[in-house]
Amino acid sequence: MSAFDSNMAVLVLEDGRVFRGTSFGAVGQTLGEAVFSTGMTGYQETLTDPSYHRQIVVSTAPQIGNTGWNDEDNESVGRDGDPAGSRIWVAGYVVRDPSRVTSNWRATGSLQDELVRQGVVGIAGIDTRALVRHLRTRGSMRAGIFSGDALADVDVLLERVKGQPSMLGLNLTAEVTTPGGYIIEPKGEVRYTVAAIDLGIKSSTPQMFAERGMRVHVLPAKTTLHDLLDLKADGVFLSNGPGDPATADDTVHLTKEILGQGIPLFGICFGNQILGRALGLNTYKMKFGHRGINIPVVEHATGRIAITAQNHGFALEGEAGQEFDTPFGRAVISHTCANDGAVEGVRLLDDRAFSVQYHPEAASGPHDASYLFDRFASLLEGDKN
């Protein structure tokens, strides 16, 4: 490349594949892991989900942006719990056809304008179908989007892409957790107190607890068992979040201490991997992961199938219905994905602790699994009696 159109942008993958398009959002350079999401709706929730930190997200839906941007659908909050501090967490955004019109009564602006305002570099006008087929074949990989003054010869851009760290072995919890904690109150009577360990928590999750009469103390990842015991929490929640679960040794240690105390525990996504590791399971990096709002999961105790929202590139090792011994009693692989058999949930057989890999809060997405919040409430009620 020696001369560039002012609106040109390129996406460079670490295996040398290059896609050329037009600048979308902010102009400049961004690096991250290229992944794809199959949801046809909910792009605002995806972009603001902290679990997508350090990832360049490719939307498989051909047209994105028609509902613009609003003040209500963000899945992140400020690090002190202030909704006004919500932000986009993705490293970059890849779409085929950005909508030229914003058509939603709740919209406060366009997607393009919000990407520019928050400095999120994107690319549009590329063949996202070909890109997704490439990522499904080769797997998620390091990538970069370049536009404006960041454009250079492809060999130079490729070196920048290869110079960034891989998601494998990356610990990102400290970059997304709340520094000091905050409280979400229920609207009515306080029935239980829950300590939510923030590993990259979505804003809708504490609200789901609050709807069930739970006062939620959202706590930093560095929280200790002493902190939890002082709080006298009825239960503990392990949140979703980005990064490699194999690096989260401190949180795994805390989880073992919680289990040793017999405190009821519930985990989602990254929290599922943390509980699994605490029970003795290993994790691995998936080829291209599960990201979307239409993924079927089997609960083996009932045979029930739920259509779920998911966002994970790592998973626990194990097989459907597998029972195994742990220092805290017998446990079982409780859920698996109907598509590929990936582990989607674990629990202790006495039901003192359980977790799922998918998102029962599902914003945006199906609500088939929202009953899991009721299950946790029942567990807390039983523990009090």
How far apart are alpha carbons 216 and 230 in whole angstroms? 15
Contact, 310 vs 295, CB < 8 A?
yes
Token pair of 33 as six digits: 């892991």
**How many whole angstroms separate alpha carbon 237 and alpha carbon 214?**
12
Annotated domain spans of the chain: 8-162, 173-384
Give the pLDDT of residue 285: 97
Q: What is the pLDDT of residues 173-202, one digit of tens each?
A: 999 999 989 999 998 899 999 999 999 999
Q: CA separation (Å) from 69 to 27, 48, 100, 110, 143?
A: 19, 11, 13, 5, 26
Owner of token pair 């102009």: 27
Q: Show which residues are catalytic.
A: 269, 359, 361
What's residue 268's pLDDT?
97
- pLDDT per 10-residue tile (average), the chain, 385 residues: 72 98 97 95 94 97 95 84 85 97 94 97 98 97 97 97 96 94 92 97 93 96 96 96 97 98 97 98 97 94 93 96 96 97 97 94 72 92 72
Q: Options 3.50.30.20, 3.30.70.1140, 3.30.70.141, 3.40.50.10420; which CATH number does 8-162 get?
A: 3.50.30.20
Whole-model pTM? 0.94
3-state SS assignment for residue 160? helix
Count Cβ atoms below 10 Å from residue 336 Cβ, excluding itself: 22
Residue linked to tokens 């009953």: 371
pLDDT the model gives residue 1:
41
Question: For residue 50, which of 197, 181, 216, 201 has the smallest C-alpha distance?
Answer: 201
Residue 315, amino acid: A
Superfamily of domain 173-384: Class I glutamine amidotransferase (GATase) domain (3.40.50.880)
Sign for the pseudo-dihedral over CA of 383, 226, 279, 324: negative
Q: What is the pLDDT of residue 368?
A: 75
Domains 8-162 and 173-384 share a fold: no
